[in-house]
Structure 1
């Protein structure tokens, strides 16, 4: 009996020792080894701080930025306000710097050729496995890798084909008309009014997603959008804090709330999917919305291969729908609101855009062929996305020991592609990099970038955002219709405070003076 007891005790002790060693290795031994390896190759950054790395300073600087606003006329203030910590690291340590996401080192890459390699070589550089709590916001195509990503991309691609997007133009037009109708009701007898356009733009892009993705309206999907916005705030809190493995299972207030929101969103989307499938089986309704096209594509693949594994499960369809709701609304609303703010400031470009819209489209009609000829509007959108991209950074992770631009990076190293720092970089864009100058795109993106990978607001390469054309078409229709009806300028009450809530948003709204034309 004593022998058995001793054996059990020794086994338990060994398990405890092994677990302790694994923990010590994870939070101290490995980070210090990697720090030495990276510093020997020329990477600079703060010294590794036990457990938290740079997370405390990172979070503190975000909170400081949220408590301030900046002068819209001082372009030099934008980077220190929006991406304070990474901008400080660049200023302090140069173009090859390390930041510590807890005990994980993240190397920043700003060389165009290295960026190209990272975004092209999908088998060498994959998405980082971030805080598991973020899965409650969205997973799907944006997080998948390998065969699963390829399968989903193939199944979803038909929904974003240019011919399918053309069929969605009436839905875009209807949603925009309803928003403009609300604005016209706000106009006073003198033909003008002050209006915070930000909530209207959020409602517009949400309505468009409801109509084009699910064949419903914003009012029907309003609860889902409210929940996803609430989830975005919790997700941002999670990004700003250190994640301890296993802590997502603890019954904390945030964990419980995120789980409850996810449960409600899933059930709502599941109901929409079942209603759509029921209508499809009965031969009712149409398949022109994104969900219908995706389900039809999925069904065809399963039938052709006589195998369910070639298609998506209901769980996977729900995840893609969550992604439609989140990414489809966030990207376009961010682009539109910053476009209106910058055109309100730069009246000469607003006038040029309006002249082009009226010349090409007239003062009433919106047609797809005419939209393709709006060169000035395209230039403006490209420049807005350069200065105020919806998302300010991409991250990848090495999946094996690899050489990148002369650096030897071991497996598991995180790589940051700081979109906003690169978009503002004077070495890449010239001394006027922080200025709003749409003319730099007058001959297209390739000419403006000199064929370098230095402009990627929607990502780049095989994993470029599948909804890019959808977002740009929606934004183009909305801006054209606004320019046909109104001129606008910044209100004295507008406070310039670009703020990251996963996407880049105006913290205090977008107060403009609208003038009816």
Structure 2
């Protein structure tokens, strides 16, 4: 009896092992080098056993092979991924050969029937549906509407600075991730929904708490990622729900109330919610569709913008000379100390350079996935024959590794905004080594709004406070291995010293 039990367990383990390694060799059989790979862990063991963020595994492979290979075959657990190492090919995939790589792999992770709040988000859609919804969403982001939001952000920035003044008395340190979320939450709720989230008050809407449940504490996201890695060909309808139910309930109820309030008031404003209501009439959109369009703003902008603001403040705090240079630029642009007009703010060269340099060091996403939609021959400089990429093949772009490669950015750990001055941004994008907002036709659809928000927050804070890094903040640029979106490890704690008027 005992022997039969042992035999059964051994057989089960053998079957499991064969299953876990059954895809290994996929790239080798196509003539592509496969670095060392482990059962269950794949090529990126820290995704399963997080001692460091798993994008560091990607960086290690990139640094080991970038001088000898244009790409290598990797595995996200069991799922075959072609890791692109040559920047020229990165630009090719994003821009010149885009029609062959239109889709993002994230669409396979989300069952849109279960997660209705993102069912119209261009980021998770494929093919014609992506093109249609991006075109619809783009009509929301006109220059006129972004100018309308700037007036709102001026009010939000005043509230932000008053909040910092109250909470930082006596040199008290502040959690800058929390601060960034309060700012983006207040801005987006007012700009998009026309309501105030009161995030700087003692009785706020639970925006920050909801965001924590969505990102840092989201087990559904981790489970969905694991399911995709272990069962890469599992039908979408069998994928688990990604967004927490509490997240759905909170936002659906709030969005519904906001829409009803605006309908009742009959306000004619050139803002996002008025245009959404016009779209509902013209396109016969359901309430679910409306909620999904609103959540595109929240999903794409809340976490990424807040983290980017926090990281830029951290780097400015560590580099007082850069902070002083930025202050000088802001004072010249607005001697009164008020937030500059939107057109002036967006075009401030050193502010833009500081923000882009912080996005380089701390990219909002450390990697990207592109799925082949039409056969393509990828000709790498290190390979004599082109590699045929087939429809369904998935390519990984190591954004963090590219943007922190000393070959492209000497002393990459050093905050040096000057890299992005005098055409640097355009040059780095064309080289395929800067993907702060992606590139090509599928770059971030809300980029202009995100930039307007982030630059407003940074300008207002630097105008009114000297930013100093608290000893509580960890040195270096380590990324928290337990949070899917890249965030400085153990938090960003800063002190804000009021500037003398």
What is the TM-score with the length of structure 2 in the denominator?
Answer: 0.81
**Gap change, CA 1:31 and 1:264, over 3 Å in 2:** same
Query: What do the CA deviations read for 1:65-103 (whole angstroms, capped 9, x no partner)?
Result: 2xxxxxxxxxxxxxxx57222123224444522221233
Name the residue aligned to 2:62.
90
Name the residue aligned to 2:152.
171
394, 402, 405: which one pairs with 1:425? 405
**Gap change, CA 1:266 and 1:490, over 3 Å in 2:** closer
Pairing 1:64–2:51 present: yes
Name the residue aligned to 2:6.
none
Pairing 1:124–2:96 present: no
Query: What is the distance in 2 between the residues matched to 1:84 and 1:446?
Result: 24
- List alignment gaps of at least 5 residues for structure 1: 1-22, 66-80, 303-307
**Gap change, CA 1:420 and 1:187, over 3 Å in 2:** closer
Alpha-carbon offset, residue 475 of structure 1: 1.3
- Kindly indicate whether the alpha-carbon contact (under 8 Å) linking 2:46 and 2:54 is maintained by their aligned counterparts in 1: no
Name the residue aligned to 1:74.
none
Higher helix share: 1
Alpha-carbon offset, residue 431 of structure 1: 3.0
Pairing 1:342–2:315 present: yes
23, 34, 38: which one pairs with 1:44? 34
218, 221, 230: which one pairs with 2:213? 230
Query: What is the distance in 2 between the residues matched to 1:116 and 1:247?
Result: 29
Query: What is the distance in 2 between the residues matched to 1:99 and 1:36?
Result: 10
Query: What is the distance in 1 between the residues matched to 2:207 and 2:166?
Result: 27
Query: What is the distance in 1 between the residues matched to 2:175 and 2:492?
Result: 5
What is the TM-score with the length of structure 1 in the denominator?
Answer: 0.79
Q: What is the total number of aligned residue pairs between the two structures?
A: 455
Query: What do the CA deviations read for 1:286-336 (whole angstroms, capped 9, x no partner)?
Result: 443323323324534x3xxxxx5xxx4433332232222122111211111
Alpha-carbon offset, residue 198 of structure 1: 2.4
Alpha-carbon offset, residue 473 of structure 1: 1.1
Alpha-carbon offset, residue 426 of structure 1: 2.8
Query: What is the distance in 2 between the residues matched to 1:44 and 1:328?
Result: 36
**Gap change, CA 1:409 and 1:327, over 3 Å in 2:** same
Name the residue aligned to 1:370.
344
Name the residue aligned to 1:513.
495
Bigger radius of gyration among the two: 1
Secondary structure of the equivalent of 1:291?
helix
- Kindly indicate whether the alpha-carbon contact (under 8 Å) linking 2:180 and 2:310 is maintained by their aligned counterparts in 1: yes
Secondary structure of the equivalent of 1:489?
strand
Secondary structure of the equivalent of 2:140?
helix
- List alignment gaps of at least 5 residues for structure 2: 1-14, 380-385
RMSD of equivalent CA atoms: 3.2
1:457-496 superposed matches below 5 A: 457-496=436-475
Alpha-carbon offset, residue 469 of structure 1: 1.1
Query: What is the distance in 1 between the residues matched to 2:93 and 2:241?
Result: 36
Name the residue aligned to 2:182.
203
Name the residue aligned to 2:382.
none
Name the residue aligned to 1:394.
368
